[in-house]
Each structure stands twice: as structure tokens, then as C-alpha cells.
Amino acid sequence: MPNYSRNEIVLVRFPFSDLTNAKVRPAVVINSAHSSHDLFLVALTTKTANLLGGEFILSEWKSAGLNVETALKRGIFTIHGRLILKSIGSLAAVDADELDRSLRFWLNL
């Protein structure tokens, strides 16, 4: 199984909560390297209006491999690595720093 790096942007087959179907979505890997097959991810969205605290529009979304303006979505997910379809890029340093601030805010660290 491939290794994924922190701040790498991947396409993931996210299952619906009732497990009846799945949808391919971009997400950011937020864990460091480890031996588990599970990854911690934060979802990305093109719905950039009405963002919640800690959510933000990526300033360097084009260089991250995304096709349209994209925001980081509040919520941390654990997903098995086999659900990752491919890597498409990685966050720029400025967006990675903002992600770190968001994680601290969401988790009250």
C-alpha cells in the first residue's frame, strides 16, 4: 500500500453515512507517517460560502492540484488507505500553516 504524507491532497471514495453508496472527494492527509492502513483526513469542498470557524478557502488551490476554488471543511475522518484513488498534489506552506491553526482551534489544543 502506498504511503501518504501529511498535507498531501488525495482523491478518496467517501462512503455515505448509511453505506449505500460513495462519492469521490478530495481530502487532505493530516497524520504523519505510521504503519497503520488507516489515515486521518480532512475533507475539501467547492462550497465556499458560509464557512464555519476554522474552515477556509485554500489560497494556493491551483498549485495544490485542484481545478476550482476549494475550501477546507471542518471535520476529521479516519479512512482505510485502500479507499484512496490517487494523490493529486499537496498544500502550499501557507495553507498547511492555516490547516494546523484550524486543527488546534477545532480540537481546542
C-alpha span between 55 and 49 (Å, rounded): 10
- pLDDT score recorded for residue 63: 94
Domains and CATH numbers, the chain: 8-102 (2.30.30.110)
pLDDT at 1: 59
Low pLDDT (below 70) residues in the chain: 1
Pick from 11, 49, 5, 51: which is nearest to 27 by CA?
A: 11
Distance (Å, rounded) from C-alpha 82 to C-alpha 2?
9
13 CB-contact burial (10 Å; exposed 0-12 / middle 13-18 / buried 19+)? middle
pLDDT given for residue 92 in this prediction: 97
Q: What is the per-residue pLDDT for 21?
A: 87
